[in-house]
Amino acid sequence: MHSPLYADYEWGRAGGAPVNIASIDRGQRVEAMDEIKRALELAEQIPFRFLIQHIGASGESFNERKLEAAMTSIEHLRAFAKPLGVRILVENIPNELSTPDKLVEFIQSAHFEDVGVCLDVGHAHIMGDMPQAFDTLKNLIRSTHIHDNAKDKDSHLWPGQGSIDWKQAMELLRSAPHTPPLLLEIEGDEKLNPADKMGETFKKLEAA
């Protein structure tokens, strides 16, 4: 399950505030954690294994106060999630807090032994180099987000519609110490039947 990004159903367009666990405003951070905990409570009705969590917003700049705020938030959320059987996975996203190097440093310095990583292949591609991101994160990877782009914007295309080398990407993921599931994260297209396209896409990925 993906942690909420906004406190509404319209990606902030309906006035919902961003859900940002790295906010240095304590009130905003508490509201963000409350929103995430409401999502986590769904595990009581529909069990799920992982909660995918962003650290900061897209384009967020780095500073130590934000990092400390995020550590405090994750400490609180992992304690809330554990009795529900849920593990927190942080995701590499396009900002200065969530580069592969920063995620490893974040987890290790806070001694979050039960926090893993969701490797977003599209984000790794647009942020730099997928093989390098994989090599940095491979021991922590427990799940994935699979989508493509032309390295120009975070466009969430179907695999094969951008410039990612999927043969290489699949070989890397298969070599991970904990082989992760493949979860498609694609922008909607009303002209396509998602079920048909999913089947076709997974066949291509498996062949790779």
Domain final residue, candidates 82, 114, 146: 114
Q: Are residues 59 and 9 in the same domain?
A: yes
CA-nearest of 51, 33, 32 to 42 is: 51
Q: Are residues 132 and 94 in the same domain?
A: no
Structural domain boundaries, residue 133: 121-208
CA-nearest of 2, 1, 28 to 16 is: 28
One digit per residue, the tens of pLDDT, for the chain of length 208 reads 999 998 877 766 676 778 999 999 999 999 999 999 999 999 999 999 999 999 999 999 999 999 999 999 999 999 999 999 999 999 999 999 999 999 999 999 999 999 999 999 999 999 999 999 999 999 999 999 999 999 999 999 999 999 999 999 999 999 999 999 999 999 877 677 888 889 899 999 988 8
Assess contact for 57 and 11: CB atoms under 8 A.
Answer: no
pTM: 0.94
Residues 52 and 148: their CA atoms lie apart, in Å, by: 19
Q: Are residues 100 and 54 in the same domain?
A: yes
Residues 46 and 150: their CA atoms lie apart, in Å, by: 36
Q: Are residues 20 and 99 in the same domain?
A: yes
Query: What pLDDT shows up at residue 183?
Result: 95
Tell me the pairing of strands 50-53 and 116-120: unpaired
Query: What pLDDT shows up at residue 13?
Result: 67
CATH number of 107's domain: 3.20.20.150
Residues 63 and 66: their CA atoms lie apart, in Å, by: 6
